[in-house]
Amino acid sequence: MTKDIHSARADFPILKQSVNDHPLVYLDNAATTQKPQVAIDALVDYYTRLNANIHRGNHSLAVQATEAYEGARRKVAGYINAERNHEVIFTRGTTESVNLLAYTYGEKFVQAGDEVIVTQLEHHSNYVPWQQMCLRRRATFRILPFNEHGELDLALFERMLNEKTRLVAVNHVSNSLGTVNPVEEIIRLAHAHEVPVLVDAAQSVQHIAHDVQSMDADFYVFSGHKMYGPMGIGIFYGKEKWLEALPPFLSGGEMIDNVTPEKVTFNVLPYKFEAGTPNVAQAIGLGVAIDYLKQFDPLELQNYEEDLLTYGLNLLAEIPDLVIYGSPSHRSGILPFNVNGIQHYDMGVLLDTMGIAVRTGQHCTQPIMDALHISGTVRASLALYNSREDLEKLADGVRRIIKMLKR
């Protein structure tokens, strides 16, 4: 039996509070989602019952903590349908995962004159690490622009691919416009040139159907805190053949096999990429968040959130002087807008006085804002516990602010 989406809100204790004397309407989910009680309990339970350093210990707590941590890895691998558990590496989040690849792949596979392609829709976390790596390796940093709908042009992408292209990095869903990018097609085109692809799934893994094997992603990264799990834990998935070929990223304890003054040999996967004591409690918490998510029917979840998005965009579109950014044919989770004559920052502060949490500014996507010739947007973003009522309160709040400021 799958869980009813309408019952989800009750599982998130933080949503029961009032903010500025109004029941909280939390619409900043692209920044971070709230956590269900079960995921919060998992952290407390770990430190109450299980805490021990993992892998190296042979006492009971160390063995149990290790089993719980490795159990979490299996849950993640199952959730994204990785072929092997050791293709799942725990990191601190999407940003660290992208940096892991930019440093290791850059060192091993990118030479002067080579090219790396990212898109103009990327979050800085999937943009700056590639730009910096290209500078270090004297490679060319190429950017696939988006069109007037906020979509990528695949014909142009195909023309950009050539024998010098070493890697493509693209998000599945844009955190600023919500565009769902055709990553399967991008991967297919890149693979035709034997170019591997990194998919930044920070804004998609919690919203839309995903399967790294059918997608054929070479690398796939996301953050636990954006999918109802704890902060400080993220995932770097890579196909085994790539993980074997890449050098380690961080070095130190656990990632070694044998150390002498002259040389070191490295541990097997996944430990080769997990130097030092990992975020054990957070990994276990992420596993519990995945268990929580798996109670819902994934398609029902996706349809529910897409319905909600359309409902919210329609409500906003009726407001005079309100501009919605982008018109992609497939959008997920994000409502980006401004009201003519009102600063996005002011709109955010005033919505907060009504208990409505949204984000304002550039959303770590300055290239998008520059292309749109704006300094930022108001961004409402959705999660499974949001309702039509939340979006009605948002639209009503915006109308009241317009009235107040334009009187």
Binding residues for ligand PLP (CB under 6 A): 30, 93-95, 123, 125-126, 171, 175, 200, 202-203, 223
Q: Which is nearer to ligand PLP, 338 or 362 (CB)?
A: 362
DSSP letters along 61-103, please? HHHHHHHHHHHHHHHHHHHHT-SSGGGEEEESSHHHHHHHHHH
Shortest CB 3 distance to ligand PLP, Å: 26
Radius of gyration over every alpha carbon of the chain, rounded to an integer in angstroms: 22
CB 180 within 8 A of CB 201: no
Distance CA 356, CA 380 (A): 10
Shortest CB 174 distance to ligand PLP, Å: 7
Distance CA 69, CA 283 (A): 6
Q: Which is nearer to ligand PLP, 178 or 270 (CB)?
A: 178
Shortest CB 406 distance to ligand PLP, Å: 32
Catalytic residue, chosen from 323, 364, 374, 405, is 364
Shortest CB 193 distance to ligand PLP, Å: 25
CB 173 within 8 A of CB 336: no
Shortest CB 325 distance to ligand PLP, Å: 16
**Which is nearest to 210 in space by CA: 232, 227, 193, 231?**
227
Q: Which is nearer to ligand PLP, 66 or 204 (CB)?
A: 204
CB 78 within 8 A of CB 210: no
Q: Which is nearer to ligand PLP, 203 or 386 (CB)?
A: 203
Distance CA 377, CA 325 (A): 8
**Which is nearest to 172 in space by CA: 216, 202, 127, 134?**
202
- Residue 364 appears among annotated catalytic residues: yes
Q: Which is nearer to ligand PLP, 94 or 104 (CB)?
A: 94
- The token duo for 199 is 């998919």
Shortest CB 153 distance to ligand PLP, Å: 20
Distance CA 228, CA 13 (A): 12
Distance CA 17, CA 380 (A): 19
Positions annotated as catalytic residues are 364
